Structure 1
Amino acid sequence: MSDKPINTSRRDAVKLMLGGFAAVPVINLVGLGTARAEDLPHVDAATNPIAQSLHYVEDANVSERNPVTKTELPGAEQFCHNCQFVQADSGTWRPCTLFPGYAVNENGWCLSWAHNPAA
């Protein structure tokens, strides 16, 4: 059996846990914890297979948006900036859950567009 009292090892464990918890905000302040939309590559509709299958376009005004399948808003009002899959509230290029690791244009559109009531 060890000569060290159990309380010492408990104190060491508590110190280690508190130090770990204190390190998390510091890491986020440094910028290592989050990816920013500006840093993400833009979706290229010509080479990205997901973009091709969803008929993604950077400018929704040149796309053929079907208002019959999307009843929340008329086709002329459907853009990435008011879609529920876009993850940022502002910016020309925003991350999208449909294109992980890529950013979409706020004025873009794809077949999976769904109205975000908060937008």
Structure 2
Amino acid sequence: MSDKPICKSRRDAMKMMLGGFAAIPVINLVGLGNVQASDLPPVDPATNPIAIALKYVHDATESERESYNRPGAPANEQTCANCAFDMASEGEWRPCSLFPGMAIHENGWCTSWALKS
């Protein structure tokens, strides 16, 4: 064993932190950080408590989006595909940050809809 302390100076501490931050993109390249929406089960709007509270529906035309008047886009253009909480840019079923571990439909809608920037 070594008698040297792990970090004896601020410079050594910074080197260790930067090395740790540099490892994050490598982990994503390996694929450990990727979740595919096709692997996620779809949200069940009838039984999921979050979906019920947010009035989530798979088909936005069946929603009450006109009565909520969410800013950012006309109500008839609001879908999960152009929502800020949608975590994918393509695909019929997508991961959503509001429904961890589940997939939403690209044509869905909920009361938390916010325009994607």
Normalised by the length of structure 1, the TM-score is 0.71
| Partner residue, 1:45 | 45
Counterpart CA distance in 2 for 1:25 and 1:45 is 35
Query: What do you get for the CA RMSD once the two structures are aligned?
Result: 2.8
Deviation at 1:74, TM superposition (A): 1.2
2:48 matched to 1:58? no
Matched-pair identity in %: 58
Deviation at 1:72, TM superposition (A): 1.4
Normalised by the length of structure 2, the TM-score is 0.72
Match of 1:51, SS? Answer: helix
Instruction: Select the structure that is richer in strand.
Output: 2
| Partner residue, 2:90 | 90
Match of 1:66, SS? Answer: helix
Q: Unpaired runs of 5+ in structure 1?
A: 7-16, 18-22
2:66/2:76 contact within 8 Å kept: no
Assess, with a 3 A threshold, how the Cα gap between structure 1 residues 102 and 68 changes in structure 2: closer, same or farther.
closer
Counterpart CA distance in 1 for 2:114 and 2:28 is 31
Q: Which moved more, 1:24-33 or 1:72-81?
A: 24-33
Assess, with a 3 A threshold, how the Cα gap between structure 1 residues 45 and 84 changes in structure 2: closer, same or farther.
same
Match of 1:102, SS? Answer: strand
Runs (4 or more) in structure 1 with deviation over 6 Å come to 23-27
Match of 2:66, SS? Answer: coil
| Partner residue, 2:7 | none
Counterpart CA distance in 1 for 2:104 and 2:60 is 12
Assess, with a 3 A threshold, how the Cα gap between structure 1 residues 47 and 26 changes in structure 2: closer, same or farther.
same
How many aligned positions are there? 103
1:67/1:74 contact within 8 Å kept: no
Q: Unpaired runs of 5+ in structure 2?
A: 5-15, 17-22
